[in-house]
Amino acid sequence: MALNLRQIEVFRAVMLTGTISGAAKLLYVSAPAISRLLAHTEITVGLTLFERIRGRLHATPEARRLFSEIESAYLGIQRVNTVARELLENRQGSLRIASHATIGGSLVPRVLGRFHQKYENVGINFECVRQSELKERLLNQQADLGITLFPMEHPNLDAIRLCDVPIVCVVSANHPLAECAEVDAQRLGQHPIVDYEQGTPFGLVLDELFARSGYPSTICMQAGTPHEACTLIRAGVNGIGIVDQYSAEEFSLGSHSLTAIPIAKAPLLQARIIYRRYEPMSRLSKSFIDLMHKFAEAS
């Protein structure tokens, strides 16, 4: 037979207080009622849960194991009650954002900073992941919204367009191209570049950029993301980084800033917010999307 909620409540109270009288006071019932229900609980589970030694109750190993599982369940119930209360009072909620690392190192943190100022009691979870992992986070309901610069096709997902994002090259201040107002793919190919792994989103961007002029013959280093490419160049790697404008902006300030140069006829990326097509959005998700639009329009 299965334990009912009242039996679980009484068992837990006895475990917490260590006595029948203590459990009775905790639950506001009589001690005999606790004693009867505890005896019935032992019959129900077919186990001896307590041994009576010199007038005191001592939990058996089986009882301690059962109590461990009950406490886990109670913690879950407490979390549910806490969330319900905070939602009712409009004091809290949660927002889970998963972002492709490209835009996740630049625009998204700025938006989240402003969002947190407005909703300081909201729990925010933010992580940067690969494009394939971003799709999994959304489909597995591990994220409420996904932010990316690349298309994401799936029948259960949809996208909200934010803005177009140019591709630029970044160089150190003493690089031969640093004084150029604009460069093309052919001229870029004459210098060492920081490459990306083939088949990755930015690897495909470079393939498209150099499709006509031929891929650069000199690869000085390989990076995983535009943010990493900028970091390498600022650290002294003698090469060119081909990155999105948002990533370039993050490294355009300070004494060791990089120079961002427009690339003629470079492909445009498109910032998107990805969401689950067939599920209603929370009010927090909608507020975050509105804020993303404002930041994108101001960029």
pLDDT (mean) for 55-63: 86
| Residues 65 and 126 occupy one common structural domain | no
247 and 109 together in one domain: no
Q: Is the pLDDT of residue 276 over 90?
A: yes
pLDDT in tens, 105-149: 778 998 999 998 888 888 889 998 888 889 999 998 899 999 999
Instruction: Please tell me whether residues 263 and 175 are part of one structural domain.
Output: yes
pLDDT digits (tens, 9 = 90+) for 1-32: 688 888 888 998 888 888 888 889 888 899 99
pLDDT greater than 70 at residue 80: yes
Residues 171 and 252 in one domain: yes
Same domain for 110 and 185:
no
Average pLDDT of the residues of the chain: 87
- Looking at the fold, whether 105 and 44 belong to one and the same domain comes out as no
Of 138, 149, 98, 136, the C-alpha closest to 278 is 138
In CATH, what number is assigned to the domain containing residue 149?
3.40.190.10
Token look-up 């886990």 returns 72
Integer CA distances (angstroms), 203 to 17, 108, 164, 209, in order:
63, 22, 19, 10
* Helix ranges (DSSP H) in 89-225: 101-104, 107-118, 131-139, 185-188, 201-209
End residue of a domain, out of 88, 122, 138 = 88
What pLDDT does 91 receive? 59
Out of 56, 88, 120, a domain closes at: 88
Pick 246 or 159 by higher pLDDT: 159
Same domain for 107 and 130, yes or no, is yes
Q: Which residue has the higher pLDDT, 102 or 89?
A: 102
Residues 263 and 149 in one domain: no
284 has a pLDDT exceeding 50: yes
Beta bridge partners of 242: 169
SS (H, E, C) 243-284: EEHHHHHHCCCCCCCCEEEEECCCCCEEEEEEEECCCCCCHH
pLDDT of 231 > 70? The answer is: yes
What confidence score (pLDDT) does residue 88 get?
63
pLDDT-derived band at 238, boundaries 50, 70, 90: confident
Residues in the chain: 299
Domain co-membership, 280 together with 153: yes
Indicate if 160 and 278 belong to the same structural domain: yes
User: What letter does residue 130 receive in the DSSP assignment?
Assistant: -
Domain of 149 in residue numbering reads as 94-164+270-298
In the chain, the number of structural domains is 3
Q: What pLDDT is recorded for position 90?
A: 47
In the structure, what pLDDT confidence band is assigned to residue 253 with cuts at 50, 70 and 90?
Answer: low
Cα 180 to Cα 192: distance, rounded to the nearest angstrom: 17
77 lies in the same domain as 109: no
